[in-house]
Amino acid sequence: MSQRWLADRLSQFDSSGIRKVFDLAAKLENPINLSIGQPDFPVPEPIKDAAIQAIRENRNGYSVTQGIAPLRERLLADVQQEYAHGDRSVLVTSGTSGALVLALMAVVNPGDEVIVFDPFFVMYPSLVAMVGGKTVLVDTYPDFNIDVNRVADAITPRTKAILFNSPANPTGAVVQPEAVRELAQLAAERDVLLVSDEIYRAFCYDGEFISPATYNDQVLVIDGFSKTYGVTGWRLGFAHGPQLLIDNMTKLQQYTFVCAPHPLQWAAVAALDTDISGYVASYRQKRDRLVEGLADLYPLATPGGAFYAFPQVPDSRTGSEFVEEAIANELLIIPGKIFSRRDTHFRISYAADDATIDRGIEVLRRLAKR
């Protein structure tokens, strides 16, 4: 086909680093796979049963665009119990990624600036570019906490939004409560939309989760079911925020995704009554296992949540060079430059069984001592 058929925006997307690792995982006979960012626990039986029941009851057509009423009503009740905001509505989306796309499409004009924290979830800069925006990076190294003064300095008359993710991918960092409060207040004072990506909120290991929506009733929250209940393939998320913004995101969903997968929305209702505290406790133990195995050899900010760690390479090798050596030893991890303008770190996902984590620790200790 003709190259000129392709849109210029495609130059903003490059998933080759992650794709390379996933391709290798499929080819190796017994890889030590600490690369994939999805839970390794089975979907709880009540959630699977609810999905099967919905399919058998022929709830397989479109739902209303904004999501089925029982799910939206339950989500909104939970949200209002937590925040008691007078102007807050809910939209069920095709994954949290779908919610992010809708939010940026609804808010960002060509040339608008969006503040993103470095390291960042790999999609953020590309999605901003896709809608014609400009990403403004604010550095959070070495501890991955947020200096709100740096954010204030980065805000200009063109700043439209701030993308915030805590617990964070790729670092596992949970932003300190004082910084969450100050960031929320800054966004309100400067009339900037704060988008809080809370997909990992269930996985907080050293304290309670705190959303910036606690301190700012205009925060747009992005959340979902994928990580909490191990249903990443179901593509089921939701957003809650000011009514006007949610209404316009709903309008955009009508002309893009149409609706979230209908039968799985009924399963999500059951998910909201499913206890996953045992899984969270297990992942806390995995976090501790990994940190204890690496902290004496690698500069490593202890992750407070999610299921990632983001160690620094302990010598002069770049993150990319280090990951190549790890892959040569059948250890699959992700180079940090996928998530950052720096090439000094690498991402580990400890969403794996303990034996795999131990094998990974063994290889990483050997590589550090080479």
Cα distance between residue 226 and residue 351, in whole Å: 13
Single-letter amino acid code for the residue at 163 = L
Return mean pLDDT, the chain: 94
Q: Which 3 state secondary structure label does DSSP give 223?
A: strand
Going from the N-terminus, what domains does the chain have, and what CATH number goes with each?
3-43+276-368 (3.90.1150.10), 59-271 (3.40.640.10)
pLDDT tens digits for range 313-356: 999 999 999 999 999 999 999 999 999 999 999 999 999 999 99
Single-letter amino acid code for the residue at 18 = I
Radius of gyration of the chain (CA): 20
Cα distance between residue 359 and residue 352, in whole Å: 11
Tokens of 333: 């991890």
Which residues, at least 6 apart from 258, have a Cβ–Cβ distance to it below 8 Å? 62, 65
Is pLDDT of 228 > 70? Answer: yes
Mean pLDDT, rounded, for 284-309: 97
pLDDT of residue 6: 87
Cα distance between residue 154 and residue 36, in whole Å: 33
pLDDT tens digits for range 58-105: 999 999 999 999 999 999 999 999 998 889 999 999 999 999 999 999
Under the banding of pLDDT at 50, 70 and 90, the label for residue 16 is low
pLDDT of residue 24: 66
Of 16 and 26, the one with more pLDDT: 26
pLDDT of residue 63: 97
pLDDT tens digits for range 347-365: 999 999 999 999 999 999 9
% of the chain with per-residue pLDDT over 70: 97
pLDDT of residue 27: 73
pLDDT of residue 119: 98
Nearest to 122 by CA among 171, 174, 179: 171
Is pLDDT of 9 > 90? Answer: no
pLDDT tens digits for range 128-172: 999 999 999 999 999 999 999 999 999 999 999 999 999 999 999
